[in-house]
Amino acid sequence: MLPNTSRNAGKIRVRGEFSEFPRKPERQGSGLAFQDFLKQAELLSYSMSKNQLERVRAIVARAHERRFKRRREPRYGSLNKGFTEPELQRFFRVIAAEKYALLFRYQAYMGLRVGEVCQLRISNIDFDKRELTLKSEKSAMMDSLIIPLDLFKETVEFLNKHSKEIEVADGYIFFKENDNGHTGLPYINVNYVRNVFRHVVKEAGLNQTYATSEEGSVGRTSRALHRLTTHSLRHYAITHFAKSTNGNIVLASRFARHADPATTMRYIAKDKDELYKNIDFAFTDKITPLKRLSKAIQDR
C-alpha cells in the first residue's frame, strides 16, 4: 500500500520497494484545465449560428471516428489478448501493494472493467448474500454478481484494515491516497491504475507488443500496441468462466454483462493448444512417408 505522503507520490510499490514510473505531462482532457475548456466552449456555442455549430460538430465527429471508433474485426485477429494462467500468476506475484492486488483481482475473477472497479463503494456489496451490484459501464444497466468466496474474504479483510480511509473517501473502496490524476474525486484515477498496471507488467516480464497504432491526427506519433492491458484481465475472466461452464455462451454473456452473446465470443480466447495438436496430428504422418521416399531415392 502506498503511504499518504507527497514524497511517495508517483511511485509504485513493487516487491516491497518503491519504484518510479515516468509521468506524462497533463493533457487537456483531464482535470481542471478540461473543465475550464468545456465551460468556455459552452459559452461560445451560444453565440454561434446553426451553420457554425454544424461545422464544429462535424469536426469533432471526424476526430472521434478517426481516433476511437472500433473496428468490426479486431486488428489482432486470433491473438489472445487475455492472460494465460501462468501469466496471471506471474502478474500477481509481482504486486506488493494490496489495494492494487485486490483491484486487479476484481477484474480477473469477476470480469469488471477498470472504470467500474475504480468506482466500487461499500454500498455496492450485500455482505449477507455476498453479492455485488453495479451499473454496467457500457449499457448503464444495473447488474448483480456473486463475489467468489476467496475474493470476498480478501475484500472484507481490506475493508476492516482501511475503514478510516474508506470513510473519508465517501465509501469508495479503492480510495485515492494522493492527488494522482488531479481530478478532485475521492477514488483512484483510471489512468493512474493503467500506469500501475503497465509498470507491474514490465516487472513481470510480460510487456509484449504486437503492432504499432495508425495515428490519424497530424503531429501525433504512432505508439506501441501492447498485448496485455487492464482489459486483458476481463478477457481472462470471461474465457476462464466460459471454459468452466463447457462453453455455455449464454451463461458467459450474462457473466460478462453483454447484451449480445456475439460480443462475448470475441472475448473468449481461441484454444491454440488444441489447434496446434491437431495440426501435428494431421500432417506428421503425411510428411514422414515423403521423407522416407526422399531418403530411398537419395540412397540409390
Taking only the tens place, the pLDDT of each residue in 25-58 is 444 445 678 888 888 888 998 999 988 898 999 8
Strand pairing category for 142-146 and 131-135: antiparallel
Question: Identity (one letter) of the amino acid at 271?
Answer: D
pTM for the full predicted model: 0.68
Residue 293's pLDDT is 63
| Burial letters 161-184, b for 16+ CB under 10 A, else e | ebeebbeebeebbbbbbbebbebe
Residue 26's pLDDT is 47
Q: Determine the Cα angle at 280 with ends 278 and 282, to 5°.
A: 65
- Give me the mean pLDDT over the 181-193 stretch: 84
DSSP letter, residue 28: T
Cα gap 41→60, rounded to integer Å: 13
Question: Identity (one letter) of the amino acid at 234?
Answer: R
Tally Cβ neighbours within 10 Å of residue 105: 22
Average pLDDT, the chain: 81
Cα gap 105→236, rounded to integer Å: 11
Cα gap 275→67, rounded to integer Å: 35
| SS3 state at 192 | helix
pLDDT grade for 288, boundaries at 50, 70 and 90: low
**Sheet-wide strand order for 125-126:** 125-126, 131-135, 142-146
Summarised one tens digit per residue, pLDDT across range 139-170 is: 778 899 999 999 999 999 999 999 999 999 99
Query: Nearest to residue 151, comparing CAs of 268, 278, 237, 211?
Result: 237
CB under 8 Å to 72, separation ≥6 — which residues? none
- Is residue 5 over pLDDT 50? no
DSSP letter, residue 5: -
- Give me the mean pLDDT over the 123-129 stretch: 96
The answer to whether residues 149 and 167 touch, using CB atoms and an 8 Å cutoff, is no
pLDDT grade for 238, boundaries at 50, 70 and 90: very high
| Length of the chain (residues) | 300
